[in-house]
Structure formats: structure tokens, C-alpha cells
Amino acid sequence: MKPHFQRVALVGKHHESLSGALVENARQVLEDIGGFLESLGLQVLLEAQSAETTGLTRFPARSVAELGEQADVGVVVGGDGTMLGIGRQLARYGTPLIGINQGRLGFITDIALGDYRKVLPPMLLKGAYDEDHRSLLLGRVMRAGECVFEALAMNDVVVNRGAAASMVELQVEVDGRFVARHRADGMIVATPTGSTAYALSAGGPLLHPLVPGWVLVPIAPHALSNRPIVLADPLEIAIEIIAGRDASASFDMQSLASLHHGDRIVVRRSDYRVRFLHPKGWSYFDTLRNKLYWNEGGV
């Protein structure tokens, strides 16, 4: 019997902070997991930047575009940041992703590193998994009617004041209709996935992944009546810089600094969605309970 998936894209951490012992550890983990996948009869394709960072040459290296075209599934080893980065890039190909947590929180990389040998075989060989689709934001920075920056975001689009500046003044519109002007440290537009990230720390609500909506959350607003709001995701949100110095916009930490007065950050639903695969019996509420430490002490 053929395995449910045959070609596996293996992706690891490759950000700039990896050096010395961290690189060696990342290389060893990827080699161990890749070797295990090969022992299951699967072909392993290593993401090119992961190969370059770790120096691992055991598996053929492929660009993200090649992985999207050639791989049946992706196994992502790292933290949520690693998954966010590859998820945005592979969404256009519809490649399903499995996350092995080698980071801290692990909201979307939900398989413990020590458990992969027992968890992966039924998922990869028999197709025993639960599938979970996540929406993406498409954000654009418009200046004098022209797009000067564009990016996808799985978590959030954030407009922030400058590090040494006071509050910014932002005008918010939804589907071309004026909503309000806010004086605040910034504004967050978050997906349901991102509702457990920066938006949560700024006082926003949790949004279940199946809810087709966004969370609009002001950051430290001047007026206490400026509260978070949940919006339907077909709506387009525009945030205009009215006043304030050194404002910046970030799209899952992909940043454009030095926004100008009059710049408009326009956010809408992307045409792409990210596909996550979880072990059979996975529950979003189990993840929340474990990561947010609900019911600690047996309550």
C-alpha cells in the first residue's frame, strides 16, 4: 500500500539569531526527523534556506516554490514564527503543513518534538489527521494612490507609533465608510490565528479559527471608549496616518518603517488560506487551555 503522502518538504529554523550550538542543534534535529521520514519510505526535500543555515546536505534542497510544486505535505520544525513564514509562502500552492514545536509557545506548531516518532506515521502513511484551514490577510501600504509595499500576514497587520514618538492619530474606515479617528500607540488588524498573539496582549478577544472575521484592536488608546471590535472578513479595512512621527507598519513582523502622513494601510482577505494538519483528535480548545494555562491547579 502506498503511503498517503509520498514527498515531504522538511523546513526548519533559519533566522539570523541562529549561530554556533543553536545551528548544530537545528541541524541534528532536522537530520533526525528527515532520517526517520526516510525510514517510513518517504522522500524528503529540504527547504533551501534551512539547508544553507544548517549545512545539512543529506537531503536534496529545494526552493519554496519548488517545494510548493513538488511536495505533498510540509513538516515544519521550529516555533510559530517559523510556521508563519513558510505558511505565508506555501499558501498559494495549497500545501498542507504539520508543525513540530521546537520553540516556546507553539499555538500552531502543536506536536511536541519528543512525540514526532509516534505522531507522524499515522498522519503521513494512513492519512489519519484533522485538517484546519486558516485565513490570511493581504495588506498594502498606499501612498498618493500607489502601492509602495504589499505582504501577506497570517497573524496580523500592525500600525505602530515610532519608538521615541508620542501617540499617532489614525483614521479608520471599513468598506469605504468612516468609523473613527483614534489617538493611540497603534492599531492591530488580526486574523483568528493572530487573535492569540499581539492582539490578545493588547486586550483583544479570542476568535475561533472557523469564525470568518478579523479583530480590530487599538493599542493603548487615549480614549478608554475606543474598544476592540470584531469585523466580518469580507470587509476591507483602511487605516490612514493623520498625525504622529516615525510610524511604521508590520505584516507578521515584515516591516515598512517611516510611514508618511496620508499613507493608507489597506487590509483585506487574501485569496489564499493556510492548511494545517493536526493529529487525530486535536482540539483548538485543548491548545488554548494548555498554552494559556487555564484550569491550573485542577480547577
User: So which residues are the catalytic ones?
Assistant: 80
If DSSP codes are grouped into helix, strand and coil, which group holds residue 92? helix
191-220 per-residue burial string, b: 16 or more CB within 10 A, e: under 16: bbbbbbbbbbebebeebebebebbbbbbbe
Q: Where are the strands (E) in the chain, listed by range?
A: 7-11, 43-47, 61-62, 73-78, 97-101, 111-112, 129-143, 146-153, 156-160, 168-174, 177-184, 186-190, 213-219, 229-232, 237-243, 248-251, 254-256, 264-279
How many other C-beta atoms can be found within 10 angstroms of the C-beta atom of residue 55? 9
Dist. CA 176–CA 236, nearest whole Å: 8
DSSP 8-state class, residue 248 = E
